[in-house]
Amino acid sequence: MQEYEKYGAPLLDRKSEIDELIKTPNNQYPLEINGKLENLPVIRVRIQDPIYRLANGRTKTMQEEYLVKHPEQPTDLFTKDEGSYAAQKAQHEILCKLAADANLMKEFKDGKEQTAPIICTVAGVVVNGNRRLCAWRTLYYGDSKKYSHFEYVNIAIIPRECDEESIKNIERKLQIQKTLRADYKWHAKAMMMKQDQAEGTDIIELTEKYDMKNKKDTGIFLAAFDYAGEYLEKTGRAKQWSIVDGDEFSFRKFAEERKKISEQDKKELFETLVFQLIQNHSGYSGRLYDIIPDIAKNLDAIYEDMKAKMEAVETPKGETEEESEKEQSGKAEGVSTDTDNDTVINNGDGDDLDLLGGEAIETGKYAKVTKAIQNGVIDNVSEIVTNTIDNQKALQAEAKTSGFLIGQLSKASSYLQNAVNNGLTDKSDITGVSQQIKNIEDSLKAISDWLSAKEGK
């Protein structure tokens, strides 16, 4: 068999063969189409005859990623000519990964044979069964003797009057609905929904079509997809959707919590922190989506700890604050900044990109800390976030007791005495000490003012 014959017979050959075979089908296959039960004619064709459906929603995001990773290919590879060898071969590569992910390759390799027919149009385009066909072809083309049972495959032909919307409905019914399939990539499903939405489908109909819980769930799901796309762009990996395969719930939680924050610069800080943790999964040992609500709840405390960290590194020894500020206004070593959109890109090989926040926020309480995180000035971000949250939870537990105030003051007094006893040496680094003393003095004044007011009642 010639290479160019492996992924679909010419259009006229496919159509004429199917037209002839459906006159005397082997049997029938019942399938509901547009609310009506149809008995589709089942015929047997050579494995190389059908072509993959390039408009298959399951592969849309993976096609985007394929084009990013293969810049030598034309951008209209998957849309210009459905039957082209190059497009079908590329689609085969994509489907091989999906077939492996779904364990289909292993099942058929271990001896499983075809049971149900794949669903095709009268032109031999596969509506349902693309991954199975891919797995069979891979095995048969690799060892035609061992897998001779895949030389011919059974296909069921949908009525020729079925239009694109009917085909989409079949796909939704057979591939997406949770009662039948649980392995659809979340971002692929979201892209299909976004396309339907752009074509005028309202959120109520989307919720029903795609078996979502309710309108709110649909809205959060689509927002999560948008934020995932934003995240990929900001980390220099636009459209590489496989990177976020396992992050659906993290982006869902992010979308839910972000809309509760009113200040724009605070939204930016929250986004930067969450995106940082998503990018560096190793920095957090638990389920990431569980900590996202805690980040939102303790955002001000996290900001204060990040600010203290930033101030501790902002004025290195031997420099004036003015000199240091000029140096830090740029970014961390090896990083360049696009001033139009505040995008930060590492100048290295691209494997260790620095993280970006959202829109360029130049003013506001949280802006400077946000930029320090984005520019790599503050390190160990994941550790600071988790430590702050743990500390806040402990404080909140203690705060429920009447002895909370005196307990905290006792701890502070003990720490300060320890600093006096052991820290006043020539070896101690004094960077940031003045600022910490000021913070302590401000806190003591606030407590003293409160105490005076309480005693004066």
- 107 and 233 part of one domain: no
pTM of the model: 0.73
R_g of the chain computed on alpha carbons: 30
Distance CA 145, CA 84 (A): 28
- 391 and 425 part of one domain: no
- 87 and 113 part of one domain: yes
Residue 119: is its pLDDT beyond 50? yes
Residue 350: is its pLDDT beyond 50? no
Distance CA 373, CA 134 (A): 45
- 393 and 426 part of one domain: no
Q: Which residues, listed in sequence order, are joined to residue 39 by a DSSP beta bridge? A: 30
Burial class (CB in 10 A: 0-12, 13-18, 19+), 233: middle
- 299 and 441 part of one domain: no
- 226 and 301 part of one domain: no
Whether the Cβ atoms of residue 177 and residue 211 lie closer than 8 Å to each other: yes
Q: What is the predicted pLDDT for the residue at 362?
A: 63
Residue-wise pLDDT for 257-308, tens only, equals 999 999 999 999 999 999 999 998 755 556 888 999 999 999 999 999 999 9
Q: Which band of pLDDT confidence, cut at 50, 70 and 90, is reported for residue 177?
A: low
- 152 and 110 part of one domain: yes
Distance CA 10, CA 394 (A): 69
Residue 411: is its pLDDT beyond 60? yes
Q: How many domains does the chain have?
A: 4
- Name the percent of the chain in helix, strand, coil, to the closest 5: 55, 10, 35
**Could you say which of 134, 150, 181 is where a domain stops?**
181
Write out the residue range of the structural domain in which residue 426 sits.
403-457
Residue-wise pLDDT for 322-335, tens only, equals 454 455 444 444 33
Q: What is the predicted pLDDT for the residue at 427?
A: 84
- 53 and 141 part of one domain: yes
- 211 and 238 part of one domain: yes
- 284 and 167 part of one domain: no
Q: If phi over 0 gives left and psi between -120 and 50 gives alpha, with beta otherwise, what is residue 239?
A: left
Q: What is the arithmetic mean of pLDDT over 367-391?
A: 92
What are the φ/ψ torsions at residue 317 (nearest 5 degrees)?
Answer: -60, 140
Q: What is the arithmetic mean of pLDDT over 197-201?
A: 93
- 52 and 194 part of one domain: no
In the DSSP assignment, the letter for residue 154 is E
State how far the alpha carbon of 283 is from the alpha carbons of 174, 228, 352, 379, 392, in Å. Answer: 39, 19, 14, 11, 19
**Could you say which of 259, 287, 304 is where a domain stops?**
259
- 52 and 139 part of one domain: yes
Q: What is the predicted pLDDT for the residue at 281?
A: 72
**Could you say which of 134, 163, 181 is where a domain stops?**
181
